[in-house]
Structure 1
Amino acid sequence: MTRKIGSRYTANQILGRGSAGTVWLGEGPEGPVAIKLLREDLASDQELVGRFVQERTALLGLEHRNVVSVRDLVVDGNDLALVMDLVRGTDLRTRLDRERRMAPEAAVAIVADVADALAAAHAAGVVHRDVKPENVLLDMQGPLGPGGAHPALLTDFGVAKLIDSPRRTRATKIIGTPDYLAPEIVEGLPPRAAVDIYALATVLYELLAGFTPFGGGHPGAVLRRHVTETVVPLPGIPEELWQLLVQCLAKAPASRLRASELGARLREQLPSLAGMPPLDVDEPDTEPQEAYEEEPETAAPRERVRRGAVPLVPGAKPDSNRDTHTSMRVPGPDELAGGARGTARVPRAAGAPRPGSARHRATTRRRRITLGAAAVVLLAAVGVGTWAATAGDDSDGAPTDTKNSTPMSP
């Protein structure tokens, strides 16, 4: 199945579908390209088309080795498309799905590449607004870097901004993917460069841990955690790397590093991370404890389900890999202020039982029995000691010489 895109391009094969459009393998005057064709209902929005044209110069001028360059923007009838460089490889989400988590050296090398891409974009006045593993492509034909990492390229520049038109998303709506949204976006402030740093730090946390720091459960709960929760340390992470993560996940945008600083600081960490294996942690539980009351100890592991994303466009089909955006109501101040303690997500040590599971209850019972037995032994020892002390006193209270069993003179 092929189709013409404007007068210069031909779309030959679908590579993936998203809530905002479809990515095709295409052909142009200069060879193979990737074509992101936006949904027809988006393409029919004249306001969005106008914004699309306004962004043309900024997007076409964004050139960097770690950026998937936009070659052309096509407006032709009902077609609205971004023509981009074709990257021979896969996206970071696919690799993360396969490996669950990455060795720190490879994870840091990939994130440093993305930080360099963001530094170039921010210098050009472009904010990505949707940094996440789905939008990071790994060039399988490029040279291997530290930890065997393939070169990473950031894609989908401008898509979130194009979709976020005033008519489509009023001030009470949020555009973005919940797991990676900076607190200031949740609170309704305009997105600046610092939102990309927050999202990229979230990606690094996810590459190291296998889960995002504030994800899990209903998207509304995820948004609240971004504003109210403090990120929980990961067991086994080097202290200097952890401090970098904490700084870039700061609630205050001004406290975060700039992209160029983050990239440089991450590359400084690489020698100390060489050979370090992936962290050994389990994902924290987010479901209510009651949900596990009848879970047998021998139950098969639950399938890992990605959380925190709903379609941008009502009725949109899910992505082939993951829904990419959410458009939902901004929580009120009273909602953001409450419930922080109830939504904390503390990673479990590897192999630790799930709270509320049969194994967890059995462990708790054994612990109680052990403590109870220890208490009985302790009480018995105290009783014997008390009896001995009492038996050693005569009736008038004079101390006794236990060696000769005769009263001692004071």
Structure 2
Amino acid sequence: MARNIGSQYTTHRVLGRGSAGTVWLGEGPQGPVAIKLLREDLATDPELAERFAHERHALLGLEHPHIVGVRDLVIGGEDGQDLALVMDLVRGPDLRTHLERERRLAPHEAVAITAQIAAGLSVAHAAGIVHRDIKPENILLEPAADGTGTPPTALLTDFGVAKLIDEPRHGGKGGVVGTPDYVAPEIVEGLPPRAAVDIYALVTVLYELLAGFTPFGGGHTGAVLRRQVTETAARLPGVPDPLWEVLQQCLAKAPASRLRAAELASRLREILPSLEGLPPLDIGDPDGADEPQEPADPPRPAPGPLPAAVPLVRADIPDDERATHTRMRVPDAEELAGGAHGTARTPRAPGQARAGSARHAAAARRKRRLAITVAAGVLAVVAVGGWLLTGGGDDDSNSHRPPHTTTGEPALAP
């Protein structure tokens, strides 16, 4: 059913639902638009309305070919309780949908998408705006208008939403707001978000496009956050050295060690020609779909349900297995020092069991059983050999046995 948003816009149908609200296909004075209508509990927050008004000029002025433009911010509406972002309408899917269909992307495509988003980020960062929630769901792919098979254009969306919603009241002390797989380590440690957090998140997305999984994902939210702080990303087999150097530098734990957005875009464009024709990486199934469903030893309690995540501009069934833009408690120093609980998805050869998986645990148990069996057999052989050498058996028979000689000749009876 049509609904008026402000005095100029009308919604027609739902395109998708996210953690912050619902995206509608709408109509405005200049044609079709996407309208992100924030949740009712957010819309009734007077502090949020004030922040909307404060950020209005900055968001409306953020223009770049790889950023979904914000046309208007609506405060009020027919019932006086609407907060909405009116954005350019992108007809293509989000990157999550594309990645789920392709499983993993060829290096050339993955790097081209990342370079485009980095170029958009450079403009936002120069304007003092940090995205804070970069992930495949917030990257849209606009198909070429000519229909000639030209690669789609990547655009970053939801700029400013994280900041608007989370500060100051909703992102108070001791909380982390973001998507766990893409949260930079300094955020976990309680430092304020600077431009470097976007670089970390974007290169995490690049890693995921190449590998099919994020470098520190797996297990419950606390495990992922600890790994963001304590572990180093495993190298992906088959990645050319120049590309791996960029990944490694931008996933550095120290924010100052990472490239800036403009530098990242430039480096990736330099690498791009050398990646032409390379196939997607062959590193096996990271999710364990090919593994028997045997519980690990010892079993761990199942984590609780995670918030559902729905891509920004699609209306099909949500992916209910991915946490997205959720509030998380910051692990204390003792927890961070304790290492990860759960197993990160690490690169492995096709068919090789992933460490910590059911198949890996079963293989370990089989090895232990084999070792025990072999040890028992060796002990049995040693025992029998010792019994023979010491003259074990019937004493009478031993009395008639010729004594052993070192020459191998029979001993002469006296």
TM-score range, shorter chain: 0.7 to 0.9
C-alpha separation between the residues in 2 aligned to 1:254 and 1:47? 33
The reply to whether residue 5 of structure 1 matches residue 1 of structure 2 is no
In the aligned structure 1, how far is the partner of 2:40 from the partner of 2:272?
Answer: 45
Cα deviation 1:229-264 (Å, max 9, x = unaligned): 011011111111011000000000000000000001
Q: Structure 1's 253 and 286: CA in aligned 2 closer, same or farther, altered over 3 A?
A: farther
In structure 2, the CA distance between the partners of 1:341 and 1:164, relative to structure 1 (3 Å rule), is closer
Task: Please name the residue that 1:361 is paired with.
Answer: 363
Separation of aligned partners in 2, 1:324 and 1:361 = 34
| Aligned partners of 2:294 and 2:362 also within 8 Å | no
Distance 1:71 1:347 in 2: 42
Kindly report which structure 2 residues correspond to 1:112-261, keeping only aligned pairs within 5 A, or say none: 112-142=115-145, 149-261=151-263
SS of the residue corresponding to residue 247 of structure 1 reads helix
Number of equivalent positions? 358
Deviation at 1:19, TM superposition (A): 1.6
Structure 2: give runs of 5+ residues left out of the alignment. Answer: 298-303, 310-315, 379-405, 408-414
8 Å CA contact 1:232–1:345 kept in 2: the answer is no
Match status 1:41 vs 2:38: no
The residue number in structure 2 matching 1:59 is 59
How far residue 333 of structure 1 moved from its aligned partner, in angstroms, is 1.1
CA distance in 2, matches of 1:41, 1:324: 18
Aligned to 2:388: none
Q: Could you tell me which amino acid in structure 2 is paired with residue 12 of structure 1?
A: H
Q: In the alignment, which residue of structure 2 is the partner of 1:303?
A: none
CA distance in 1, matches of 2:268, 2:154: 14
Question: TM-score of the superposition, structure 1-length normalised?
Answer: 0.79
Per-residue deviation at 1:291?
A: 7.2
- One-letter amino acid of the structure 1 residue matched with residue 223 of structure 2: A
Distance, in Å, in 2 between the alignment partners of 1:36 and 1:120 is: 23
Matches of 2:249 and 2:344 in 1, distance apart?
19
Structure 1 position 344, deviation (Å): 5.2
Q: Secondary structure at the match of 1:281?
A: coil
More moved, 332-341 vs 57-66: 332-341
> Structure 2 vs 1, CA of residues 290 and 335 (structure 1 numbering), >3 Å: closer, same or farther?
farther
CA 1:189–1:134 in structure 2 vs 1: closer, same or farther (change >3 Å)? same
Q: Which runs of 5+ in 1 are unaligned?
A: 296-306, 313-317, 377-393, 396-410
- Matched residue, 1:79: 82
Label 1:42 to 1:242 Cα distance change in 2 as closer, same or farther (>3 A). Answer: same
**What SS class does the counterpart of residue 23 from structure 2 fall into?**
strand
State the match for 1:90 in structure 2. Answer: 93
The runs of at least 4 consecutive aligned structure 1 residues that moved more than 4 Å come to: 142-145, 283-287, 340-345, 362-369
In 1, Cα distance between equivalents of 2:73 and 2:154:
23
What is the TM-score of this pair, normalised by structure 2?
0.79
1:320 is matched with 318
Q: Distance in 1 between matches of 2:167 and 2:324?
A: 17
1:156-189 C-alpha deviation (Å, 9 max, x unpaired): 0010001112322311111110000000000010
The answer on whether the counterparts of 1:225 and 1:343 sit within 8 Å (CA) in structure 2 is no
Cα distance, 1:363 vs. partner?
A: 11
1:310 is aligned to 2:310: no
Q: 1: distance between equivalents of 2:157 and 2:146? A: 19
Q: 1:291 to 1:342 in 2, by over 3 A?
A: same
Once residues 269 and 358 of structure 1 are traced to their aligned partners in structure 2, the CA distance between those partners, rounded to angstroms, is 36
In 2, the alpha carbon distance for the partners of 1:368 and 1:267 equals: 53
Match of residue 300 from structure 2: none
Structure 2 CA distance for aligned equivalents of residues 267 and 215 of structure 1: 28
Distance 2:60 2:129 in 1: 11
Task: Give me the whole-angstrom Cα distance separating, in 1, the residues matched to 2:270 and 2:146.
Answer: 20
Separation (CA, whole Å) in 2 of partners of 1:117 and 1:32: 23
- Tell me which amino acid in the other structure corresponds to 2:98: R
1:73-110 CA distances to partner (integer Å, 9 max, x unpaired)? 00011100000001111100000111110000000000
2:391 counterpart residue number: none
Aligned equivalents of 2:59, 2:194: Cα separation in 1: 17
Secondary structure of 2:169's counterpart equals coil
1:4-24 alpha-carbon deviations (Å, 9 max, x no partner): 000000011100011210000
- The aligned counterpart of 2:108 is 105
Please tell me whether the aligned partners of residues 144 and 151 of structure 1 are also in contact (alpha carbons under 8 angstroms). no
Cα distance, 1:309–1:120 mapped onto 2, change above 3 Å: farther
Q: Please give the alpha-carbon distance, in whole angstroms, between the structure 1 residues aligned to 2:13 and 2:295.
A: 48
Rounded Cα–Cα distance in structure 1 between residues aligned with 2:239 and 2:362:
26
Q: Give the letter aligned to residue 66 of structure 1.
A: H
Same amino acid, percent of matched pairs: 65
2:296–2:361 Cα contact (<8 Å) kept: no
